[in-house]
Amino acid sequence: MNAGERYDAWRQLRAGERRIVIGPRSAVLAPLRDVGLIVVDEEHETSYKQFDPAPRYHARDVAVMRARQAGAACVLGSATPSLESTMNAHREKYTRLEMPERVPALKGELPEVQIIDLTKERKKRQLAGGVLSKPLRDGIRKRLGRDEQTILLQNRRGYAPIVECADCGFSPTCGDCSVTLTFHKSGGRGLRCHYCGKKRRFPRECPSCGGSMERLGTGTQRVVEELEKAFPEASVTRMDRDATRRKDAHRRILNEFGSGEADVLVGTQMVAKGLDFHRVTLVGVVNADAGLLMPDFRATEHTFQLLTQVAGRAGRADLRGEVLLQTRNPKSPTLQHALSHDYKSFARHALRERRALRYPPFGRIAAVEFRGPGKKKAKRIGRQWTAEAERRTEQIDVIGPEPALVERVKRNYRFRTILKAARSVLPGRIQRLLRAATDAAGSVPNGYRLAIDVDAARLT
Ligand SMILES: [Zn+2]
Ligand SMILES: [Zn+2]
């Protein structure tokens, strides 16, 4: 909606002319008069958290609070609830309602999930220089023969996420962000920064030693290329942020796949969400490890949710589905639980880890980010703030300041301090500490920013 449409909708709701509102996270703030019911679908989705720009809020938590204040019911729906919500049900703050059977339209059985050990496949020389293992290639071939469809998840866009000099290891990085550039084949072959969008030409030789540049790693474009080589008769389509940039492209791709024009759909996590195509009987995860290795305490939770969701795309009508997960960590408990569609065991395992490390839902966290064009200055602001916090704290751990995972974005350096406390420490106490440290540290110079994120959704 554009601003005008939003205003009209807001006015109609406020006047009572409309009584139901459907929308993304800000809809939870809609000016309804007597709210009776708030439904938060896929409540575990991280997109419910708004970070930039402020206000920083979690729309699910706002929904719970608003429903409580209005005396309304709030329904949180998910097949893979967030661990926070699971714990709230366990603590009887929420009432758990289970739906143990698949809805009638999906009367079929759950898909069979298999793990493919990429290390073994490589040893057997079954990868043929590509990323699709023999079982996955065989599975796709079978579907092509039966006029069924395949979805492949590869959660990185572009062609090759790593570009490196074969001789000296030099890797071109974005001048404005501290990340390496991704090679893209379509849309004007070249290097692109996934943080700021800046493009650069692909260097023919290494700018540092003159050696030859190699393209390593696999993005969605490379998976499409490998498929086209292996199955020249198949029609392959791609869905990721690059392919859906133009208006209506998203719908066009889905129509193409839904009508059966395309045999294989390759994409990032976009393909995991809510697609319902009856002829899809195979889902392949090209690299199930990518998300697991993120340095974030929620990495396993997000991976389990993503794998469960994408697996749910296979075999949705009368045809039984099959899911193949390619990995280098076949013993990972997260993958093992995904294998058996066992949310409860996964939650038990993950909650034990969280408890041991005092992470939510067993602890409270807040992240404070210090950001600005000068590295030293940004760090100094962080140090000052952190020293003030440390001086005032009891029972709250103050960790930092540390450089953020991506230290520089759009020419701004980022440092982070994390506050961590037991659940028995009340939120108000953390708020007071945040306020006191911020007041004591004084004003932030022009061009610099201090951003406080209570209950931070990501620590990277
Ligand atoms: Zn070199
Ligand atoms: Zn950049």
State the CATH number of the domain containing residue 422: 3.30.70.600
Give me the pLDDT at residue 140, please.
Answer: 97
Check whether residue 131 and residue 74 sit in a common domain: no
**Is 307 in the same domain as 389?**
no
Mean pLDDT confidence for 46-62: 90
CA 28 to centroid of ligand 2, rounded, Å = 33
Enclosing domain of residue 247: 109-161+217-352
Residue 108's pLDDT is 63
What are the residues whose beta carbon lies below 5 Å from ligand 1 (ion)? 165, 167-168, 170, 206, 208-209, 211
Looking at the structure, tell me whether residues 283 and 431 fall in a common domain.
no
Same structural domain, 320 and 383: no
Phi, psi of 455 (to 5 degrees): 55, 45
The closest ligand to the CA of 170 turns out to be 1
Tell me if 82 is assigned to some domain: yes
Are residues 50 and 19 part of one domain? yes
Residue 26 and residue 86 share a domain = yes
Distance 199 CA to ligand 2 centre (A): 9
Q: To 5 degrees, how large is the angle CA 162–CA 163–CA 167?
A: 125
* Residue 121 pLDDT: 86
Q: Is residue 44 part of a domain?
A: yes
Model pTM score: 0.86
Is 185 part of a structural domain of the chain? no
Among the residue ranges 26-30, 106-110, 160-164, 290-294, the one predicted with the least confidence is: 106-110
Calculate the average pLDDT of the chain.
90
CA of 454 to the centre of ligand 2 (A): 27
Q: Does residue 274 sit within a domain?
A: yes
Give the confidence band of 128 by pLDDT, cuts at 50, 70, 90: low
Q: What is the pLDDT of residues 341-362, one digit of tens each?
A: 889 999 999 999 999 888 899 9
458 C-alpha to center of ligand 2: Å?
20
Question: Would you state the pLDDT for residue 37?
Answer: 97
In a domain, 193, yes or no: no
Ligand 2 center–CA 374 separation, angstroms: 16
Q: Is the domain of 74 the same as that of 117? A: no
- CATH code, domain carrying 124: 3.40.50.300
For 11-44, how does the pLDDT look when each residue is reduced to its tens digit (9 = 90+)? 999 999 999 999 999 999 999 989 999 999 999 9
445 and 376 assigned to the same domain? yes
Q: What tokens were used for 80?
A: 């893979």
237 in a structural domain = yes
Residue 96 forms part of a structural domain: no
How remote is the CA of residue 457 from the centroid of ligand 1, in Å?
39
Number of domains in the chain: 3
The mean per-residue pLDDT over the stretch 98-107 comes to: 70
Residues in the 5 Å CB sphere of ion ligand 2: 174, 176-177, 193, 195-196, 198
Question: Minimal CA–CA distance to 73: which of 21, 35, 45?
Answer: 35
Of all ligands present, the nearest one to the C-alpha of 410 is: 2
What distance in angstroms lies between residue 190's CA and the mean position of ligand 2's atoms?
14
342 and 368: one domain?
no
Report how far ligand 2's centroid is from the alpha carbon of 373 (Å).
Answer: 14
| 347: in domain | yes
Q: Please tell me the distance between residue 181's alpha carbon and the centre of ligand 1 in angstroms.
A: 16
The upper half-sphere exposure of residue 337, i.e. CA atoms within 13 Å in the direction of its Cβ, equals 19
Q: Is the pLDDT of residue 105 over 60?
A: no
Report which bound ligand comes closest to the CA of 208: 1
pLDDT at residue 459 in the model: 73
38 and 155 housed in the same domain: no
Looking at the fold, whether 67 and 115 belong to one and the same domain comes out as: no
Residue 103 has pLDDT above 90, yes or no: no
Percent of the chain with pLDDT over 90: 56
Q: 345 and 236 in one domain?
A: yes
